Amino acid sequence: MKIKYDLIKKDGNARLGKLHTNHGTFDTPMFMPVGTLANVKTLVPEELKEMNSGIILANTYHLWLRPGEDIVAKAGGLHKFMNYDGPILTDSGGFQVFSLAKNKKKDITEDGVHFKSHIDGQKLFLTPEKSIEIQNKLDSDIAMSFDECPPASASYDYLKKSLERTLRWAKRGKDAFNNPNQSLFGIVQGGPIEDLRKYSAEETVKMDFDGYSIGGVANDGESKDDMYKAIDYSVPYLPEDKPRYLMGVGEPIDILEGVERGVDMFDCVLPTRIARHGNVFTGEGRMNLKNAKFKEDFTPIEDTCDCYTCKHYTKAYLRHLIVAGEQLAGRLLSIHNIRFLIKETEEIREAIKEDRFKEYKEEFISKYKE
């Protein structure tokens, strides 16, 4: 069965919705924690459920390399392999090919991309068909089309040439797609250029995907302005009855900006990555718990937070774990950071329901220092 999106209510362009999948329904807007290698780093599924996580993301490129899609398929698919019975979205591998191979030689041909493994330098070749075949085997609920991810700073001509190829790749991937229990999203590219985004969105929508992603906003040095343009120039051409996913975006304020422009789904490695470096989100901005001022601070990260970490541990204890290099620190901070973003989307949904999204956003931004 394919996913089904119900648009429940709008407040300006902000959308309150529900996405039904074969592994459960979740509300949108929603932040998706990233489980790169078939686990959200340091965490187990029960913890994700406790923080009200609706859907997680896994990375096709990484799972292709380790353990390999055939092993995941033999396990009965990604849900069984990783013991996660909720919805899972997989990316196409395109972003990793371009970002991990950033400083390495890669060869983009009409057929696909030749590049080298970031692990052992082994020669690899990823095509739209191969990306879809891997994702079909992983058996995620939602798969992504294989796309090229040029930086927003690329020339108009390059962006145009690239998005046209991405459109052909989208068609090839759709034709190769072969998993009745999986849904497939098309990806809109075109950098921060209005006519390119319009063209990419319209042509992608013509292919009739189950949902649409906005790509090319979190590649390499894109400005906030590039991101806003990419969304503003894409969304008007996307159908109201399909979900919209802004790829790789998850800063607290970026989520608000995305929702305001009509986006439903977000993902980002930020909450787990900054956790491993001792940083946490708070309503007033990011906080570095390594700071000596927390040595004897026997209060939680946030008094108002309902996460497991804030209910049980003090900043002094968390700081001690960080300073001593204990892995438990990364786990406890990841719980807080992911819950922070999920709670933000819960509050966003509540605000949309009550026609006060704009006020919520302004109040959030007035307190949060980036």
Kindly list the residues in this chain that would bind a second copy in the complex (CB under 8 A).
Answer: 37-39, 41-44, 62, 66-67, 71, 74-76, 81-83, 295-296, 298, 312-314, 316-317, 319-321, 323-324, 326-328, 330-332
- With respect to a second copy, which residue has the nearer C-beta, 121 or 221? 121
CB of 56 vs a second copy, minimal distance in Å: 14
Cis preceding-peptide flag for 67 (omega within 30 of 0): yes
Given 157, 241, 267, 303, the catalytic residue: 267
Neighbouring-strand partners of residue 17: 7, 28
Q: Would the CA dihedral through 316, 318, 319, 323 be positive or negative?
A: positive
- With respect to a second copy, which residue has the nearer C-beta, 16 or 43? 43
- With respect to a second copy, which residue has the nearer C-beta, 107 or 324? 324
- With respect to a second copy, which residue has the nearer C-beta, 8 or 119? 119
Q: Both tokens of residue 95? A: 């972003």
Q: Is 91 a catalytic residue?
A: yes
CB of 247 vs a second copy, minimal distance in Å: 23
Where does the chain have alpha helices with state H?
Answer: 45-50, 60-65, 69-74, 78-82, 94-100, 128-138, 156-176, 194-206, 224-234, 252-260, 270-276, 308-312, 315-323, 327-353, 357-367
Q: Both tokens of residue 297? A: 């601070």
Given 27, 70, 91, 139, the catalytic residue: 91
CB of 149 vs a second copy, minimal distance in Å: 23
Q: Which helix (H) or strand (E) holds 357?
A: helix 357-367
Q: Is 226 a catalytic residue?
A: no
- With respect to a second copy, which residue has the nearer C-beta, 1 or 71? 71
CB of 235 vs a second copy, minimal distance in Å: 36
Name the 3-class secondary structure at 319. Answer: helix
Side chain identity at residue 175, one-letter code: D
CB of 328 vs a second copy, minimal distance in Å: 5
Neighbouring-strand partners of residue 173: none
Q: Both tokens of residue 114? A: 């030749």
SS (H, E, C) 327-343: HHHHHHHHHHHHHHHHH
The residues that are catalytic are 91, 267
